[in-house]
Structures are given as structure tokens and as C-alpha cells.
Amino acid sequence: MALTGEYSQTFDRDDICQCLFGGQTVNSNTLATRDAAKLTGAASSNNACSSDCDDCDDCCIVVSGSCVDAGKRDANDWVADYFGLPTDYQSTICFAPRIRNFVADVQGYFGFNHDCAQNFYARFNMPITWTEWNLNYTEKIIEEGTRDHQKGYFDASYVARVDLVKQATDFFTGRSVPALATATFEALACSKWAPACDSCFDRKKVKVADVEGVLGWNFACDDECYIGLNVRATAPTGTRPKGEFLFEPIIGNGKHWELGGGLTSHAQLWHCDHSDAALNFYLDANITHLFKACQTRCFDLTGRPNSRYWLALKLGANKDGLAGGSGETPELSDFQFASAFAPVANLTCVKVNVRANVQADIALKFAYTTGCGFGADLGYNFWMRSCDKIKRCRLTRLETENWALKGTAYVYGFETFPTSNADQGTPVALAPSASAPTIACGDSANTLSNIDNPQTAVFIAPSESATIISANCLANAQCVGASDSGNVNTSIQPKLLSASDIDFVGSKGMSHKIFAHLDYNWKNGKNYIPFVGVGGSGEFGQENGCDERCDESVDAACSFMQSCDSDNIARDCVRCAISQWSVWIKGGVAFN
């Protein structure tokens, strides 16, 4: 019987960022080389950063509004408009993600020497785990933004800066949304970066991780070597992914039952008869299957990394005679804006059944014993898990409601052009969809023309001819503050999002570990032998070179992703595995 107390901590901050955000982050060194005008005059906002925020510079995201001067934003800046921020807002958000674990592993090994069970054994592990997963992010505001949103951009009414989101991290934690007069704006509910309260930023859990039981038989066994086979099963006593947080604390294997088998062997390589010192070699090779488990996961759109944070607009029936085209017979729109916005994450978060066909865990070590109680081990461990097989078991909101990507287009036009902020005009809900932009580049400055299937929006009143609908301002007016009237476009017809647009991508993992252990046992000639030892390990996870979901033929953002493969095409799996170091102390007793 033994008890091991182990502490571990990750050290691969950049690799974790790569798994979470793909290639759409920039290194702090890269940020430092950007034009000084982009990063000066910054007001710090560290309300959600941990005590080690000085290290929050490993990987960064720059958030820039669509009207930030072109000389101050890069192609891979995230568009602030999508998050309910002003069009002239700009900030940097940097991350130092970290996972910390403490495990108290209760272990037992029982060898049977009865005639009916010669060389059989049973083993169990019960790890009691404390874990903390923390993004350790901090936002530094470069420009708070002063621009209001013109009538028609989010609402039929003018939206003042004071009613918009204060800072980007307020959106990503679900803490804040724009206050709109008639339309609703859903707060982010899935893949959040942290809870919405300041006092509960750290994400910690305590639970018994998966309990493993093994039954084996050493069919060849003597004093110098043995070889045997075993069957093993794992009961899922850990936590189940819920999709609420992007960096969600997980204990165990995700609630999978496991069943498999293994091979174990030992060979004595050298022995000194005089001192009883010896050098031994051990090999453990285990393969298991992870059975179907129900989990809640949040997904991006196919070929569009981080699109879960885009903004979608809800469409309903055309009740106002909205049409498109300036000819004598304009085409009626199938839809109109239904006065609701939601982050894509709220629409793609769904219960799914997940399984993994193969998980392999292979360890080998050399063990030296002195013959007077001291021993030293040096070993290597290989771990691999095949790609998740995902099958959704619930309908998504994209199948029960009509949604489209908003981009930076107007959602209202006006039958009568408003002459001032106080004048509401006569608003008409449009039906724009903008499937071409990405989270990193948005629409071009000419926002009104960069929508799907653009047509001049017209209003067909009962028993009247078509009336052209005006925008609150020209295409560029929201950026320059003008108030000229002009024609506004709508999509005829808009492109709706569907379940087929969801990227039900799985993940796989692989890591290599080197470990060492020193121990001492008290051989007192009695029927029990106490022992104690200390050890440590370094584990190195293998990651993708870039976000393998990236498809250059679909997503222009791929052009600036880091270290992409030459055959950069959409794939069905992403490799993610953490790198971590660990130390432990182990004590126990062997007895007959």
C-alpha cells in the first residue's frame, strides 16, 4: 500500500495559447515592434489579472474597432465592433495560462500466490485531485473609444458610448453587453474567459479523478524476470466538460469509462552477489478504449478559428415589405432583423457524445538498487490519445432559430431619413448577412456594400410603389462622424447559419515524459517493509504548428497564421497536449 503526494504545473504558455486561439495571437516581442502609436497612452485595466500579471505577455490579442486608423491596426486584430465596443476602441489582451495540480494518489497492489491463483495480481489507483486552471489575462486599453453607434447600426435608436461595453474583457467574461433601446444583446454564455464576477476569477476544483482497477497474470515469472498481461478498467469519477469556460478546469478523463489491457515485464540486467546490488529493466505498455461520454462543448464555424466570438443577428419573418432592387419589381426579402444579437458561441454550444478509440500509455525504466535499501530509477513515458469522435445528441439553436453573421453592416434603414439624434425617422428592419469577414479583419471601410448578395433596400408599403430606404449615414459616415443620407443595402437573400457550418472538430494528444525517483526501504527481516521516496518529471506535449482547422481558400485570416503547414487545409482534428513539470513524495509499506 502506498500514498503519493504530487504537485505539477504547466510551463508551455505559448502552446496552450496555440490550442485555445490557433494562430490568431501575437507574441509580446512582436507587439513590441509595432508602431509606437499603437501602444502608447495606454490605461491599464488589471481587474481580472492574477498576482503574476507581470508575466501576462506570452501571447496577446489586439482588439481594434473597424474605424481605428489603418496605420494603427494590423490585419490580425480582432474587430471590436463584434463585442459591443466603439468603432474606435483599441486594446491589447495578453495571456499567461497556467494549470496547477496537487494529487494525493492512494495505491494498492495485491499479489496472489495461492495454488489456484499463482502469479495473479490486482492493483488499483484512486487519485484525489485539486486543480486550478487560470488564463491569467490582462487587458491594456490603448484607446477607450469615444464614438457612438449611429442609428441603424445596432438599433433603430442612437447608441451612446456610455451604453456600450466598457472594455473587451467585459464581453469575453459575459460581464457586460450594450444597453439597446429595442434590440436585445445576449451576454456571452459559453467559452467565457472567466466568471463574470471579479472575486471568483480563479477556477479551482477538488474531486477524486478516475479510479483505475487492474487484474493481471504474470505467466512467466522467476527471480530474474517476469512477463505478464492484464486487463484494466477505469471508472469516471472526475468532472464533465460543460462548455461554459474556454479554459475549463477538468479532473480526470472527461467522464469516459475506459476498458483495455496491458503488458508488463521485468528483466534483471546485472546483479552483484557480494553486495546484492542490481540493475533492472521494467516495461509497462497499456492500451485502453474510451467509451462514449456525454459532454457540452462549444465550437467554431468551419474554417474560421475563434468565430465563436463573432456576433450573429437573429432573423424573423418579413413583416414590413422589405425588398431589394431599384427596378420596377424588387424582390421581397425572406427575412427581417428580429431585434436580437448573440455571440456565435451561444448558438454552437451543444451536448455531444464523445469517444476516443485508442489511448496508449507506455513506460520503461531502469532501476538500480544498492542492496542496502537505497534505489534510483530513471525512465521514459510515452502517452498518446487518438482523435475524439464527436456526434451531437441535441439540436443547436441554429436548427430551431434563424441566425446570420452580422459583420459591421447596418440592421436598420429609414423610410424617412432622420435629421438629428432626437429624430428617429421611420425605421425599417433590414436583413443583412456578412459571411465573408473574419474575426480578425472584419468588413472593409465600405461596410454597407460588403454583405452577402447586396441589393438596394426598398420598402414596399401596402398599395404603394417601392420607396428606397436610407441609411443614417453613408458607408463611411460612422467613421468620420458625417450625417449625410444615402441608400442602404440589404441581403437578398441573406445567408443563414446552419448546423452544417459548425466545425465539430475533435482533439488528440501526445506527450513524452522523462522521470527520476530515489527511494529507501527498511529491510528488517520481518513480514513488512516500509519505504519512502522522492521524484520528479518533465513532460513535453506535442502541439500543432498552427491551427489545423485553417483553410486559406475560405479564410483570409490564414495568411497571417504562424508556422502553418505547406498543405494548410481544413482537417478534422487538432493536436493539443500540455507540457508540465512535477515533483512528488511517496511512502508506503509492503507486507505479506
Asked whether residue 208 is domain-assigned, the answer is: no
Asked whether residue 485 is domain-assigned, the answer is: yes
Task: Specify which residues 584 forms β-bridges with.
Answer: 6, 535
Give the C-alpha distances (Å, rounded to integers) separating 538 from 99, 384, 534, 535, 582: 14, 16, 14, 11, 7
d(CA 175, CA 188): 8
Give the C-alpha distances (Å, rounded to integers) separating 454 from 310, 336, 352, 406, 487: 21, 14, 36, 13, 12
d(CA 315, CA 320): 13
d(CA 421, CA 415): 16
Give the C-alpha distances (Å, rounded to integers) separating 356 from 352, 391, 553: 13, 12, 30
Q: The whole model's pTM is what?
A: 0.85
* Domain tally, the chain: 1
Own/partner long-range contacts of 216-223 (Cβ < 8 Å, ≥24 apart) = 216/120, 216/121, 216/122, 216/123, 216/262, 216/264, 217/119, 217/120, 217/121, 218/119, 218/120, 218/121, 218/264, 219/119, 221/119, 223/268
Task: Specify which residues 519 forms β-bridges with.
Answer: 375, 533
Asked whether residue 491 is domain-assigned, the answer is: yes
Alpha helices in 408-484 (DSSP H): 477-480
Type and span of the H or E element at 315: strand 311-317
Residue whose cell numbers read 427596378:
327
In 3D space, the residue among 350, 338, 333, 389 whose CA is nearest the CA of residue 501 turns out to be: 350
d(CA 6, CA 585): 7
d(CA 204, CA 138): 19
Per-residue pLDDT of the chain (592 residues; tens, 9 = 90+): 999 999 999 998 888 998 898 866 776 655 655 555 455 444 333 333 333 434 444 689 999 998 888 788 888 889 999 999 999 999 999 999 999 999 999 999 999 876 667 889 999 999 999 999 999 999 999 999 999 998 889 998 889 999 999 999 999 999 999 999 999 999 999 999 988 765 555 588 999 999 999 999 999 988 889 999 999 999 999 999 999 999 999 999 999 999 999 999 999 999 998 888 999 999 999 999 999 999 999 999 998 889 999 999 999 999 888 888 866 678 889 999 999 999 999 999 999 999 999 999 999 999 999 988 999 999 999 999 999 999 988 899 999 999 999 988 889 887 765 455 555 567 889 999 998 777 876 544 434 347 899 988 887 765 455 556 654 433 333 333 333 456 788 999 999 999 999 999 999 999 999 999 999 998 776 788 999 999 999 999 987 644 444 444 444 443 333 333 333 334 568 889 999 999 999 999 998 8
Asked whether residue 167 is domain-assigned, the answer is: no
Asked whether residue 461 is domain-assigned, the answer is: yes
- Is residue 58 within 8 A of residue 25, CB to CB? The reply is no
Decide: helix, strand or coil at residue 543.
Answer: coil
Range(s) of the domain holding residue 470: 307-345+398-499
Task: Specify which residues 557 forms β-bridges with.
Answer: none
Asked whether residue 468 is domain-assigned, the answer is: yes
DSSP 301: B
DSSP 472: S
Q: What pLDDT, on the 0 to 100 scale, is given for residue 560? A: 35
d(CA 49, CA 198): 10
Asked whether residue 284 is domain-assigned, the answer is: no
Type and span of the H or E element at 339: strand 335-343
**Residue 218: Cβ-neighbour burial (10 angstroms; 0-12, 13-18, 19+):** buried
Kind of pairing between the strands at 454-460 and 466-468? antiparallel
Going 430 to 435 to 438 to 439, the CA torsion angle's sign is positive
Going 297 to 303 to 309 to 312, the CA torsion angle's sign is negative
Asked whether residue 472 is domain-assigned, the answer is: yes
d(CA 89, CA 47): 19
